[in-house]
Every structure is written in structure tokens, then in C-alpha cells.
Amino acid sequence: MADIMMTSGESFEGYEIVEYLGVIDAQSAATSNVFKGFVAGATDVSDSESEKMTARMGQVIESTVSKLEKMALRRGANAIIGVSIDCAQFANYSIGTLVTGTAVKIRKRESVNNIISKELYVSNYYNRQIPRPVKIELVGEGDSVYLKSWFYNYNFEDIKAVRADVELTNLYEEKWLLKSQDFVFEKGNVSLIEAEQLACKIPAKDILLIKDAKIIISKYVTSNGIFPCNEMPINVNLSQHRLASLKEKRGIDAVAKYITDGMIWTCNCGYVNEAGAEECIICSRKQEEMKRTIKFNPDEMIAKMQEKEYVIELKDVLMEYIKNIDTQYRMELLEIMESGLQYEKSRGNMKQTVIEKVEKVFEGQ
Ligand SMILES: [Zn+2]
């Protein structure tokens, strides 16, 4: 007989029902002299008779249940829920059994619920062409926590290993410092290299609280030798949210918005180049290309807003520019205008407050 799980309840611990295959029932009847007294409602049934009766009843129920199982199997079920057993007595010293249930298909629940993970972009970098830590993922399985990490490999060097401290900060500004972690690469000569995952000594329950990750490199190994890294890392001046959107548009190694004052220009990789340099020294991005792809400069819009008096006019200015603004900021800006308009009715002029909020939206963009 194939394995069929049965319950009088509606579910099995650790399993989920994937298909209901209908109500099924099976009956059996048995005649025997041992039921004589039982059927007559006699109260003075002897012990041995009672034993015989119970044994016979058991047999009858067993065979009925086995019928039900066969029926369930024929329907493609591997379990029966809501099983109930009824016995009926008949006048001709026979006993009938009716077993009913619902045939279902069940499967073991995957343990996905026990895995928590959190992805973070690394919020520091170096102004040099060394393997750049770009992303980590903390994965908690039960009590164990693993650290996955990705490094950007300028020049496709054959990176073998990177030794670094990992600094994790949680929402309460508490820090975990994982000293001298060795990131090892099986395939170190592609642009985005993934380190073998490391065991990470932070409690699994804290994973979701982590809001920031920094990786401070002390040395690294390539097929050409061992290289120290003694300089101070530079902190990325963007929130995780903005950093993610920058990387989406500009590449996984991007850490800064392109800006120029005519004398120098900051590349998306964070390196500050001389005005004369057409290409970035670190990442080879072309200045012209970065200039061209910049669609929207909030400074001009904000300057125009400053010339106005009321929020309703600020909103008009916003609407002039709205098409050029990245969709992810549009809703936020419109909400700022709407609440500004509301407050202005009761609290007087809101121009400066609204402008400050608008500036905040574009801060560090
Ligand atoms: Zn660059």
C-alpha cells in the first residue's frame, strides 16, 4: 500500500494542500454472532465477547479504511483529510462501517520561511583602481548567517583574494565589525567577481536591521602579486535608495553623480578628473557621454521657485519641469506641493519649507 497520510483534521503540520480531489467514502458490512448481544443492546456482554467484538470491529474498520485509501490513490491523492468513521448496526446481527474523507494532494512546505536575506550596496570606495566592493548580501538560515559579496574588477585582473574588515551598521546606529575577512574568488578575471560566501557572526534576527555596509580593504592578491591598501576609504554621499538608483542607471561600480565646475569633473566612479581628461582615469567613462545623459538639473528649477511667492506658483514651476524629472521623484515632489498647499491655507506662507523639501529630494542626486 502506498503511503497515504490521513487525519481527522483539516491539515498536516509542515505540509500544504496543493489540490483538493473531492469527498470520498467507503463502506463495509460484517455479520457475526459476536454482534448479537451488541445489536440487541445487551448490557451484560461478557469480557471475552466484548474483546471479540472489538477485534472484529477493528478488522471491519481497517478494511474500510483501506478501501478509502485505494479510492484516494485512484484520484491521484497522497493524503486524506477530515476522515470520519461511522458505525451503524443492522437487525440481522451485522455491523456496517462508513468512512468518509476528502482526498487531497499535499506537499512538504519549503523552508523558505526560515531564510532571511538582505542586500546592501557597499557605501564606501577607494579612489584607486583596486577591486571595488560593490554589493553584499546577508543570508540567514536558521542560526547561521552567511555573507555574500561582489567586487567590481576594473581591468579584469585575475583577483585571487581580498582581505578586508566589514563594518555593518544597524538602524540603531550600532556597529558590527568583522575583522580581517578573507574574500576568495574562484573566478577572479571577470568584471564583477563574486566571493565565496563567508560565515558571518551576527545574529540572524539582526539581518533585517542592517542599514549600511562598509568594506575596508587592507590587502589583495592577484596573479601578479600581493598589494597593500593603506589609504582611507571614501564614504559614498548617497542614501542606499539613491545609490541603488544611481547604480541601476550608471553601472554597479557607480558611487557619485557626475558634476563639473569647468576645472575638474567628478566621474560616476567617484574619481575627480582634470577638466582636460576626456576619459576617467579609473573607469574610462567618457566625460562627454556623462554630460549628454544628464537630463535634469534641479538647481535651475529651484532658482525659479525662489523667485515666486506662494506654493501654488511653485507648483506651476514644478509642472514646467515635471516631464524631465525622473519618475521616481515625481510623486514625492507632487506630494510636497499638495501638503504645502494644504498647510499654506492654515499656517501662512510655506514657500521656504516647500523649497527646502524639494532640495532634499535632489540632495546628492
Ligand atoms: Zn570613473
In this predicted structure, the answer to whether residue 229 has a pLDDT above a threshold of 60 is yes
CA of 149 to the centre of ligand 1 (A): 22
C-alpha of residue 283 to centroid of ligand 1, in Å: 4
| Cell matching residue 175 | 556597529
So what's the pLDDT on residue 235? 96
Q: Can you read off the three cell numbers belonging to residue 259?
A: 558634476
Domains for the chain: give ranges and CATH numbers.
Answer: 5-108 (3.30.110.70), 115-235 (2.60.40), 299-361 (no CATH)
pLDDT in tens, 131-148: 999 999 999 988 899 999
Given a cut of 70, is residue 70 above it in pLDDT? yes
Model confidence pTM above 0.85: no
Query: If you search the block for the grid coordinates 580581517, which residue do you land on?
Result: 180
Distance 38 CA to ligand 1 centre (A): 93
Span of 50-54, 286-290, 300-304, 359-363 with lowest mean pLDDT? 50-54
Residues 8-47 pLDDT 10s: 999 888 888 999 999 999 988 877 666 665 555 555 667 7
Is 48 exposed, middle or buried (CB count within 10 Å of its CB: 0-12, 13-18, 19+)? exposed
**How many angstroms does the Cα of residue 266 sit away from the middle of ligand 1?**
8
Confidence of residue 57 (pLDDT cuts 50, 70, 90): confident
Eight-class DSSP state of 275: T
Model confidence band, residue 95 (pLDDT cutoffs 50, 70, 90): confident
At 298 the pLDDT is 84
254's CB contacts (< 8 A; 6+ apart) are 246, 247, 268, 269
CA dist 198 and 191 (Å) reads 21
**What does the alpha-carbon distance between residue 347 and residue 315 come to, in Å, rounded to a whole number?**
18
Amino acid at 355: I
Contacts for 306-313: CB closer than 8 Å, 24+ residues apart: 306/355, 308/351, 309/349, 309/351, 310/344, 310/349, 310/351, 311/337, 311/340, 311/341, 311/344, 311/350, 311/351, 311/354, 312/341, 312/344
Q: How far is the CA of 281 from the centre of ligand 1 (A)?
A: 6
Q: How confident is the model at residue 102 (pLDDT cuts 50, 70, 90)?
A: very high
Taking the CA atoms of residue 258, residue 259, residue 262 and residue 265 in that order, the dihedral angle to the nearest 10 degrees is -50
pLDDT of 262 > 60? The answer is: yes
The Å distance, Cα 267 to ligand 1 centre, comes to: 5
Centre of ligand 1 from the C-alpha of residue 258, in Å: 9
Grid cell 574588477 — which residue? 153
Report the separation in Å between the CA atom of 148 and the middle of ligand 1, taken as the mean of its atom positions: 25
Buried-state track 85-112, b at ≥16 Cβ within 10 A, e below 16 = eeeeeeeebebebbbbbbbbbbeeeeee
Question: How far away, in angstroms, is 188 Cα from ligand 1 center?
Answer: 21
Per-residue pLDDT at 114 exceeds 80: no
Decide: 242 and 121 in contact? Cβ < 8 Å.
no
pLDDT at 42: 55
Ligand 1 centroid–CA 222 distance in Å is 22
- The dihedral through the CA atoms of 199, 203, 205, 211 has a sign that is negative
Cell numbers describing residue 196? 565565496
Question: Sign (positive/negative) of CA torsion 104, 105, 106, 110?
Answer: negative
Centre of ligand 1 from the C-alpha of residue 301, in Å: 28
CB-CB neighbours of 114 under 10 Å: 11
Give the Å distances, CA to CA, from 280 to 23, 31, 264: 71, 95, 11
Could you tell me the distance, in angstroms and rounded to a whole number, from the CA of residue 39 to the centre of ligand 1? 94
Give distance in angstroms: CA of 166 to centre of ligand 1. 24
In this predicted structure, the answer to whether residue 352 has a pLDDT above a threshold of 60 is yes
pLDDT band, residue 321 (cuts 50/70/90):
confident
Per-residue pLDDT at 181 exceeds 90: yes
According to DSSP, residue 64 is labeled H
pLDDT at 105: 94
> Where would I find the beta strands (DSSP E) of 142-245?
144-152, 159-170, 175-184, 192-199, 210-222, 225-228, 234-235
The alpha carbon of 268 and the centre of ligand 1 are apart by a number of angstroms equal to: 6
- Of the candidates 7, 2, 1, the residue with the CA atom closest to the CA atom of residue 102: 7
